[in-house]
Amino acid sequence: MSPSFFIARRYLFAKKSHNAINIISLVSAVGVAVGAFALVVALSVYNGLDSLITSLYSTLSPDLKITAVEGKVFDAQQPNFAAVKRVEGVAFYSEALEENAALKYSDRQHIATVRGVDAVFLQRSGVAGSIVDGEAVVRKGDVDMAIVGKVIAGALNLRPSFFDMLWIYFPKRGMSLQAISPEAALNREYLKPSGIFSIEMDADSKYVFAPLDVVQRLLGYEREVSSVELYLHPRANPKSVKEKVQQILGSSLRVQTREEQNEVLFRMMQGEKWAIFFILTFVLLVASFNSIGSLTMLIIEKKKDVKILHSLGAQDSLVRRIFISEGVMISFLGCLTGVALGLAACYVQLRFKLIRLSGNFVVDAYPVKVSPVDVALVLLTVMLIGYVAANIPVRYLLKKN
């Protein structure tokens, strides 16, 4: 054990001649503990929210999505798409076509986005696990079927157990509604509702899933799709696979990772998380000023000890290390206490869900996810602030004296 650390530890835990020094040191440690506690809890809650939102959007967002740079559709039967299927890391390949259309069920009407999907999409996406009524199929035998969002089903008063068909209308391409009767200018298909899904509000109020060939026929296409979706092996690197696929397809098609497909959302979540981090760090910085007062009073009280140390041959650097070590120990003890309490609070929330969410949410309690990187960042931040706060009075007062 170094002499500076040994003496600093004695100073920290020994009884002072002025009780105020002990009180200020305790207040300083408590302030650091509260700041560290708030940082751990806040970052863990944001991690939980981020994971929840990512899991919700990953239901409909594939690992990689290929879309046209110009226009809405493209031919997915081009030879280079065969090479895309063979790219290392690509596990499943799915085609989709979506467009806004008019819906009619019994005597009710609604506007929604009809998305034509294949069997791979239903297997690999999370739609099957989001069914609240019925089943996740778009074809059973010769019967074409549709999976409807919960909000849309409510607007149409639709239930899979009913016998009514869901009619889908879309204008024929190249025809004018003014030139002929409106009914003749519309393509229409009817589907048997098979299930109702509930993922999150935007998806529930937007999508109806139908067989891909039915939607292609409805829109007047043969091979065109609006997107090709790639599902990767668990260990594959999305960015690396994206670069390979983009190189094969060229600049006419866009390849996006899941984060890029929901770029605004992910940026907003990360921005809010770091905004909270810096706000709480500033609060922690203010709380650390208590240690400046504590060290100032301690240095004044220990003037005689400093003179004795100098008489024994101690250098100024040793004396500085003694008081800086004490300031760092105050921050360290407060930090460890705060982090431990923060981790305990996160565990209690995960285990018992004490803080609940009121209203109609996907989860009934605040989600929490503890990240070791965030815990290490909190420890590093608190210790850095403690070191800087300890340096201010030590350098000034020892130089003055």
Q: Which residues of the chain have pLDDT under 70?
A: 1, 15-21, 174-183, 360, 397-401
pTM of the predicted model as reported, rounded to 2 decimal places: 0.80
Q: What is the spatial distance between Cα 280 and Cα 148, in angstroms, rounded to a whole number? A: 44
Q: Classify residue 82 as exposed, middle or buried by CB count within 10 Å of its CB (0-12, 13-18, 19+).
A: exposed
According to the model, what pLDDT value does residue 370 have?
A: 96
Within 8 A by CB and 6+ apart from 165, the residues are 105, 190, 191, 192
Retrieve residue 362's tokens. Answer: 């996907």
pLDDT of residue 287: 80
**For residue 19, what pLDDT is reported?**
64
Amino acid at 173: R
pLDDT of residue 84: 97
Please say whether the beta carbons of 168 and 101 come within 8 A.
Answer: yes
Which residue, chain included where needed, has tokens 């499943």? Answer: 92
**pLDDT tens, 142-196?**
999 999 999 999 999 999 999 899 999 998 876 655 555 666 778 999 999 999 9
DSSP-assigned letter for residue 135: -
pLDDT digits (tens, 9 = 90+) for 37-88: 999 999 999 999 888 888 888 889 999 999 999 999 999 999 999 999 999 9
**245 with 64: CB under 8 angstroms?**
yes
| Burial group, residue 31, by CB count within 10 angstroms (0-12, 13-18, 19+) | buried
SS (H, E, C) 220-285: CCCCEECEEEEEECCCCCHHHHHHHHHHHHCCCEEEEEHHHHCHHHHHHHHHHHHHHHHHHHHHHH
* Tens digit of each residue's pLDDT (9 = 90 or more) over 80-97: 999 999 999 999 999 999
Separation of alpha carbons 340 and 344, rounded Å: 6
The predicted pLDDT at position 401 comes to 60
**CA distances, 11 to each of 290, 311, 314, 392 (Å):** 17, 19, 17, 19
Q: How do the domains of the chain map onto residue ranges?
A: 3-57+266-400, 64-258
